[in-house]
């Protein structure tokens, strides 16, 4: 029986799209590998940031819903996403983040890893984590990044989730999705798949008296997990159904196939196939440069483009 392979992508809610682009491509140096629209709300961008080729597991994506209120903390949400950087990189990153006026707090050590918490311009909590394991992951550096190759973000490291009932959620993660308990530290409970290495674990916090959290700008919208192919996806869909989830039918997102469901605590999960990938409709050398629509939205391109604000490539200072 096959297990999920770790993160495929994490999607969050942002404010104005240009500010989002300036921070993630300009300050953090990620590559915009796909500039598209939210397929369920085509008047909104869907921006995908990743390594140079958009490998699954390197991908942080955003819906810029600038009209939304800020998110509300509480259970049933993912409260932070962490990004893997090479060991010894945090001194470089601390200096760069300070130079650009990013909101940071003091460095931390989490499960033996050095971490630098950051709040992005629209309130999303992220953390840069020095990850030895990330050096063995599929990763292609981006030559156009303002960040030197030896310090570039290598992909998703982990995510934090706030739960009302730890036992209910961890039982589901274990029985339906193959997670195992990796350790507990300072109230955080780490669970992982695929040996729980970089890009394959989550940290859970139990808060039985908290109110329900709410989506808004600065919150994670959903966490997507990798499956090999459509057969693997259907197998996993059956397993989560058996454990009480109510997954959607398979939805064609063109660059991958998706199934969505709520885990018992309320966090929205997705099962996403590795392929066909972001290069199916664009040359790898020019990923993210033009607005790309799935074929079924292409007839509406003119109307869609009139609703989207123009985006300008950020002009960030290179540290290379």
Task: Tell me the mean pLDDT in the region 37-62.
Answer: 98
* pLDDT at residue 315, rounded to an integer: 78
* Structure tokens, 303: 């109307």
Task: Tell me the mean pLDDT in the region 125-129.
Answer: 98
Q: Which CATH architecture has domain 7-307?
A: Roll (3.10)
Pairing of strands 155-163, 201-206: parallel
pLDDT in tens, 189-203: 999 998 899 999 999
pLDDT in tens, 151-199: 999 999 999 999 999 999 999 999 999 999 999 999 999 999 988 999 9
pLDDT in tens, 191-247: 999 889 999 999 999 999 999 999 999 999 999 999 999 999 999 999 999 999 999
Cα(218)–Cα(224) distance, integer angstroms: 18
Task: Please provide the average confidence, as pLDDT, over all residues in the chain.
Answer: 97
Task: Tell me the mean pLDDT in the region 2-15.
Answer: 96
Q: Where are the chain's structural domains?
A: 7-307
Task: Output the pTM of the full model.
Answer: 0.97
C-beta neighbour count of 303 within 10 angstroms? 11
């Amino acid at each position: 029986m096959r297990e999920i392979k770790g993160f495929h992508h994490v999607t969050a809610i942002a404010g104005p799209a240009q500010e989002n682009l300036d921070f993630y491509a300009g300050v953090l140096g990620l590559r915009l590998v796909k500039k598209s629209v939210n397929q369920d709300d085509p008047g909104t961008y869907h921006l995908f940031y990743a390594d140079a080729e958009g490998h699954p597991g390197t991908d942080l994506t955003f819906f810029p819903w600038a009209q939304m209120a800020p998110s509300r903390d509480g259970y049933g949400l993912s409260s932070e996403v962490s990004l893997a950087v090479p060991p010894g990189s945090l001194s470089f990153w601390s200096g760069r983040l300070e130079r650009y006026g990013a909101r940071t707090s003091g460095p931390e050590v989490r499960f033996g890893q050095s971490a630098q918490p950051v709040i992005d311009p629209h309130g999303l909590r992220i953390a840069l984590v020095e990850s030895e394991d990330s050096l063995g992951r599929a990763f292609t550096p981006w030559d156009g990044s303002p960040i030197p190759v030896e310090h570039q973000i290598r992909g998703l490291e982990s995510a934090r989730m706030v739960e009302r009932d730890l036992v209910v959620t961890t039982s589901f993660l274990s029985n339906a999705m193959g997670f195992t308990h990796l350790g507990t530290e300072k109230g955080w409970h780490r669970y992982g798949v695929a040996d729980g290495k970089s890009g394959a674990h989550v940290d859970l916090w139990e808060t039985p008296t908290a109110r329900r959290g709410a989506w808004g700008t600065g919150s994670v919208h959903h966490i997507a997990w990798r499956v090999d192919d459509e057969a693997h996806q259907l197998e996993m869909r059956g397993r989560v159904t058996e454990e009480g989830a109510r997954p959607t039918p398979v939805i064609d997102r063109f660059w991958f196939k998706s199934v969505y469901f709520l885990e018992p605590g309320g966090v929205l999960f997705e099962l996403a196939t590795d392929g066909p990938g972001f290069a199916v409709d664009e040359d790898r050398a020019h990923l993210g440069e033009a607005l790309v629509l799935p074929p079924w939205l292409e007839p509406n391109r003119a109307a869609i483009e009139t609703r989207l604000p123009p985006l300008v490539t950020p002009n960030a200072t290179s540290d290379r």
